[in-house]
Amino acid sequence: MKPVRWLVVVVLVLSILIAGCLDNNFVYTRGKSVPAGESREWPFRGPANLTVEISSSVPIEVKVVSSDGTVLRDFGTVREVNAVVELPKGRWKVVVRNPGKETAVIDVTIKV
């Protein structure tokens, strides 16, 4: 019966994490690859206070932009971001772009 209990616990934890990601209130990923010249995006809705925590193995560009491309916050080319961004009403996304020549490995925590 112990393996069945562990399976139930794992399914519950995964359900909670997936529900958070689908609702765009929380993103958590470790070891996500961003190949040279590519980017990753995570959408959110405002108004909200958005906590952004990102670390990378190589310098990356990190921005918070609107759905039409207006830049709300540009963190520049960095290896680490740890900030709270006040999102106005509307649709926003956190964009991580790898401008370098090698694959970036990033850890990301973004939450409302």
Domain locations in the chain?
A: 27-111
Q: Which residues of 35-74 are buried (b: 16+ CB within 10 A; e: fewer)?
A: eeeeebebebebebebebebbbbbebbbbbbeeeeeebbe
**Residue 89 neighbours by CB under 8 Å, 6+ apart:** 46, 47
How much is the pTM? 0.78
H-only helix segments in 1-112: 2-22
CA gyration radius, the chain: 16
CATH H-level, domain 27-111: superfamily: GOLD domain (2.60.120.680)
Q: Which residues of the chain have pLDDT under 50?
A: 19-23
pLDDT at 28: 87
Task: Tell me the pLDDT tens digit for each residue of 13-35.
Answer: 555 555 444 445 788 889 999 99
* DSSP state, residue 25: S
Q: Which residue has the tokens 């759905």?
A: 67
